[in-house]
Amino acid sequence: MNILVIYGSLNEKSLNKELAESMPALAPENMHLEIVRVPEFSLYSAEREAVFPADVAAFKQKIADADGIIIATPEYNRGIPGSLKNCIDWTSRPFGQHPWGAKPVAVCGASGGPRGTIVAQYDLKRIMNYFGARLMGTPEFHLDNSDKKIENGVLKDEKTKVLLQKYIAAFKAHVELCGK
């Protein structure tokens, strides 16, 4: 099973990058996780669709080829980052010709604060639902105060490690249930 893990931050020292990088070590057998940063596409505009960008087409294909997608999103001002929204806007074009429909998707996130990206995750789930993605409802994974629990892509907190391992295993079961 091939899972694409997209972390939705452009920051080199992103907590969500560290969260994503901690996942492969916790994945069940026969589950390969490829970690990628959200691409830096040019800002979406319908006028730019006439000459569809090659980098967008390649990333759409990467999404299409994956058995499932995990998105680790930061929370910026009670929503998802502009870079992640821009990626979704581009990969959903042309309308009706996108890889998100019926794709198993899980949403998670890490934050240095006490809310653990709960609002951003809700925002992202709402967007993914619009495109017909097969969202994993539960369990959810919100890593709060993550700057104290994760370092260099390694979870230091054993309780959090167990929760993340269960989350990843649940997503594997979700993907299998969806039948890709």
pLDDT in tens, 32-48: 999 999 999 999 999 88
What integer pLDDT is reported at residue 5 of this predicted model?
Answer: 99
Mean pLDDT in residue range 97-115: 93
CA distance linking residue 78 with residue 63, whole number of Å: 26
Per-residue pLDDT of 123-179, as tens digits, reads 999 999 999 999 999 999 999 988 888 887 788 899 999 999 999 999 999 999 998
CA distance linking residue 33 with residue 94, whole number of Å: 28
* Structural domain boundaries in the chain: 2-178
What integer pLDDT is reported at residue 69 of this predicted model?
Answer: 99
Q: What are phi and psi of 83, to 5 degrees?
A: -65, -40
What integer pLDDT is reported at residue 139 of this predicted model?
Answer: 96
pTM of the model: 0.95
CA distance linking residue 84 with residue 66, whole number of Å: 18
| Number of residues in the chain | 180
Q: What residue type is 40 in one-letter code?
A: E
**Stronger pLDDT, 82 or 114, i.e. the higher one:** 82
CATH 3.40.50.360 fits 2-178, yes or no: yes
Q: Which residues contact 1 (CB under 8 A, 6 or more apart)?
A: 30, 31, 32, 67, 68, 172, 175, 176
CA dihedral of residues 112, 116, 120, 122 (deg, nearest 10): 180
Band the pLDDT of 180: cuts 50, 70, 90: low
- Return the minimum-mean-pLDDT range out of 28-37, 55-64, 102-111, 112-121: 112-121
Nearest CA among 75, 6, 14, 13 for reference residue 41: 6
Nearest CA among 109, 18, 99, 119 for reference residue 70: 109
